[in-house]
Amino acid sequence: MGGGKTIGDVVLDLQGISLSFGGVRALQDVTFDVREHEVRAIIGPNGAGKSSMLNVINGVYHPQQGTVSYLGAKRHDVNTHEAAVQGIARTFQNIALFKGMSVLDNIMTGRNLRMKSGLLAQAFRLPSAEREELEHREAVEQVIDFLEIQAHRKTPVGRLPYGLQKRVDLARALAMEPKLLLLDEPMAGMNVEEKQDMCRFILDVNDQFGTTIVLIEHDMGVVMDISDRVIVLDYGKKIGDGTPDEIRGNQAVIDAYLGVSH
């Protein structure tokens, strides 16, 4: 998979992560790593703790135990803002777009971290602010072209069909030019054609920009097709970790997950 790409060093390393909400143990002693340029899938039945894992990675949740190292440095309770600054972007399981804004503005928010002009410069639309806005508009237009949503630029996101909203969610994350992209069920609720498009986009992002991707997905065909390595969670515990072929042959996984129909 992944054409001629070369998988690099470990960029993200999670050791013994445990997270609980009151009595619910969402993650129990989970250890795994993500290597540069790879597509790393997280699979598991509903409620297995997959989304919680992503939330730990980008600082929405803080695990009670365990350590997260990112780019070689140990992190202590990073918040979401710091994670964003460090180049971690994500999409959401339940689309979390800014409903009152156009597609273009939604994607432009992905550039907010990089936009520096001050309040007065913006209010008076000084040439510096205008130039900055244009620069970032151009970057955003590239993302728009890449994801083929040119026709919807000015549409309020709420009016788009579901599949396109998912795409805008991805566009907003890509506008951040992330090093690490976390995708929470990017293909859920899509028809076959939309899924194929989405697969192609994910692989292209991975190939062309070299972005490392962590992906949660329920569609086994998709997962086996596009990921380099897969981790399997069940009731918050890791029960499998390896290449798609290894996972296919793993008895514990078959029992816990593949055997169960959804």
Partner 1 sequence: MLYRENGQFKTSYRADQQMLPILQDRIFMGLLLVFVFVVAPFVFSNYFFLSILIPFLILALAALGLNLLVGYCGQISIGHAAFMSVGAYAAYNLVLRVPQLNFLVVLVLAGLIAALVGLLFGIPSLRIRGLYLAVATLAAQFFMDWVFARVKWFTNYAPSGSVSTATIDIFGFQINSPVRKYLFLAAVVTVFAILAKNLVRSHLGRAWMAMRDMDVAAEVIGIRPVYAKLTAFAVSSFYVGVAGALWGFVHLGSWEPLAFSITLSLNLLFMIIIGGMGSILGSFFGAFFIVALPILLNRAPDWLGIHLSTAMVSHLESMIFGALIIFFLIVEPQGLARLWSIGKEKLRLWPFPH
Ligand X SMILES: Nc1ncnc2c1ncn2[C@@H]1O[C@H](COP(=O)(O)OP(=O)(O)OP(=O)(O)O)[C@@H](O)[C@H]1O
In the complex with partner 1, which residue's Cβ is closer, 133 or 194?
133
Nearest residue to 41 (alpha-carbon basis) of 257, 232, 252: 232
Shortest distance, position 109 Cβ to partner 1, whole Å? 5
Rounded distance between C-alpha atoms, residue 111 and residue 137, angstroms? 9
In the complex with ligand X, which residue's Cβ is closer, 55 or 165?
55
Residues of the shown chain interacting with ligand X in the complex, contacts defined by CB under 6 A: 21, 24, 26, 44, 46-52, 93
- Type of residue numbered 7: I
Residue 251 interaction partner, one of ligand X, partner 1, Mg ion, none, beta carbon < 5-8 Å per kind: none
Shortest distance, position 62 Cβ to ligand X, whole Å? 12
In the complex with ligand X, which residue's Cβ is closer, 50 or 195?
50
Report how far Cα 5 is from the mean position of its chain's Cα atoms.
Answer: 20
Report how far Cα 245 is from the mean position of its chain's Cα atoms.
Answer: 23
Q: How far apart are the first and last CA of the chain?
A: 27
Shortest distance, position 52 Cβ to ligand X, whole Å? 3
Could you say whether residue 92 binds partner 1 (CB under 8 A)? yes
Q: φ and ψ at 214, to 5 degrees?
A: -110, 125
Q: Which residues pair with 12 in a beta bridge?
A: 34, 70
The only residue of 28, 51, 58, 211 in contact with Mg ion, by rule CB under 5 A: 51
Rounded distance between C-alpha atoms, residue 216 and residue 106, angstroms? 23
Residue 80 interaction partner, one of Mg ion, ligand X, partner 1, none, beta carbon < 5-8 Å per kind: partner 1
Yes or no: say if 37 and 5 are a contact pair by the CB < 8 Å rule.
yes
In the complex with partner 1, which residue's Cβ is closer, 178 or 240?
178
Residue 100 interaction partner, one of Mg ion, partner 1, ligand X, none, beta carbon < 5-8 Å per kind: partner 1
The only residue of 19, 39, 57, 97 in contact with partner 1, by rule CB under 8 A: 97
| H runs (alpha helix) in the chain | 50-57, 80-85, 103-109, 119-123, 127-146, 162-175, 192-208, 220-226, 244-248, 251-253
| H runs (alpha helix) in 66-181 | 80-85, 103-109, 119-123, 127-146, 162-175
**How big is the chain by its Cα radius of gyration, in Å?**
19
Q: Which stretch binds partner 1 (CB under 8 A): 2-10, 12-20, 97-105, 200-208?
A: 97-105
Residues 148-207 interacting with partner 1 (rule: CB under 8 A): 172-173, 176
Where does this chain bind Mg ion (CB under 5 A)? 51, 93
Interface with partner 1 (CB under 8 A): 58, 60, 79-81, 83-85, 89-90, 92, 96-101, 105, 108-113, 115, 117, 119, 122-125, 129-130, 133-134, 137-138, 141, 172-173, 176
